Amino acid sequence: MTGRVRAWWGLRSLREQRMLLLMAALLLPTLAWLLVVRPLDDALGAARGRHERAVIDLAVARGQAERIAALEGGARPAEAALATVIGRRAAEAGFAEARVTNDTSRRATIAIDAARPRALFGFLAALERRDGLIVERMNARANSDATLAADAVIRLRSR
């Protein structure tokens, strides 16, 4: 078979050989684009869409669980254990490296070095809804990787 291809190639003029090489050089990237890059891009877009729907579904489920817990009489955190409760809630929300310190028995400070804005504000809103806490003061700074570094003072709601 290679002998037949070589014979066919040898029958072409130099100009035809160059044109065929140019055609092959243009055809290969085009085929690579159509057969590899576009399907991967489509698959990535579909995966992102499924991820966004899953995140929304998770948030809805957590919100329903919080409402159920509130209906069952969710208790407010004890004043002495405020930093412990905030630290546990931060770990549940995915902020395992959050630093929480008690300022007083009714106030604590939390510092998070890197958090996605939506996750951070959702976490703080959940603290207010679920645990009866109030974000008294917050300072957020943008990091270079589209995350926020945040410091917040959280206190118990007045009875």
Contact (CB, 8 A) for 111 and 148: no
Q: What percent of the chain has pLDDT over 90?
A: 53
**How many CB atoms neighbour CB 123 within 10 A?**
22
What average pLDDT does the segment 121-134 reach?
Answer: 87
At residue 22, the pLDDT reads: 96
Res 159: pLDDT: 56
Confidence of residue 10 (pLDDT cuts 50, 70, 90): very high
| Per-residue pLDDT reduced to its tens digit, 91-125 | 888 888 899 998 887 899 999 999 999 999 999 99
pTM value surpassing 0.75: no
Provide the CATH number for the domain formed by 76-156 in this structure. 3.30.1360.100
pLDDT at 53: 92
Residue 140 to residue 110: CA distance in whole angstroms: 12
| Average pLDDT, integer, range 33-60 | 93
Q: What is the number of other CB atoms lying within 10 angstroms of the CB of residue 43?
A: 10
Residue 21 to residue 31: CA distance in whole angstroms: 15
- Best CA proximity match to 122, nearest among 69, 77, 55, 71: 55
Q: Please report, for the chain, the start and end positions of each structural domain, with discontinuous segments joined by +.
A: 2-69, 76-156
